[in-house]
Amino acid sequence: MIDLTQNRRAFLGLAGTALLTACAPRTPSDVFSQTSPEGTTESFTPVEGYGTIVDNGYTLPAVPPQYLQWPNRRQVVYYEGSAVPGDIEIDPYAKFLYYVMDNGTAWRYPIAVGRAGLSLKSTTVIRRKKEWPGWQPTRNMLRTQPDVYGPFAGGVPGGLASPLGARALYLYRGGKDSYYRIHGTNDLGSIGNSGSAGCIRLFNHDIIDLYDRVSVPTTVKIRSQEESLRIVGPEFSPRGVELPPKIVSPESIYGATDIALDQ
């Protein structure tokens, strides 16, 4: 099981911190301000690897620390699943995605899992990936929750407002698009939880990191509930709560706006 001893947990934390420093995009170390839903202003120092990112002309704001409480941040862990190096394994119950490396470890990313993601049971293959993808609600979304998705029936172009976030990995089954996606999200509070819509979501900072590691094709394995409980234990499996669907405006994310710096 993951993190069986304090020494092991300490190793994982140190390894994750060291590799975050080595691999993460360089971000400012300034103190940032955020406005809470109640209208109060709070200051914070960004967590390493989760500061402001300028990417393709868009500025992603730093992720506030309250969303990054352990284990809700990417780190290197011992890998105890059955996927081979270079593959991805998703644990929809513990809300983790693993990118498996060849030294017995894996990058572990916290995820949110929508109802569509929970129905993803079989192995799929990443055959396409896209930066700053656009998004359009499915007919089922429009039919079952028109109040949430109706205003977006015409689609949302790629950018900070897109519910697919900064990157998307497209999962195929038998050579055909499965319509499942691994993608970024603006809904920071969803990470570590389940939602009634969406597939497999990561912090935008994490999907950018994962995107650069993943090649095409990459096999994606789904961990069963029995495997999840055996490997990570009852401390993490299951993890999180089910949240109602919502579309998060970029303007509500601590001042983020759909600004292209070179325009």
Phi, psi (deg, nearest 5) at residue 88: -115, 140
Catalytic annotation on 205?
no
Q: Which parts of the chain fold into alpha helices (H)?
A: 6-23, 115-118, 139-144, 146-149, 204-213, 225-232
| Identified catalytic residue from 199, 208, 210, 220 | 199
Q: How far is CA 86 from the centre of its chain?
A: 18
From the number of C-beta atoms within 10 Å of its C-beta (0-12, 13-18, 19+), residue 226 rates as exposed
Q: Active-site residue among 73, 74, 129, 183? A: 183
Name residue 226's amino acid.
E
- Nearest alpha carbon to residue 200 among 125, 132, 120, 113: 113
DSSP string, 46-57: PPTT-S-EEETT
For residue 183, indicate whether it is catalytic: yes
Active-site residues: which are they? 183, 199
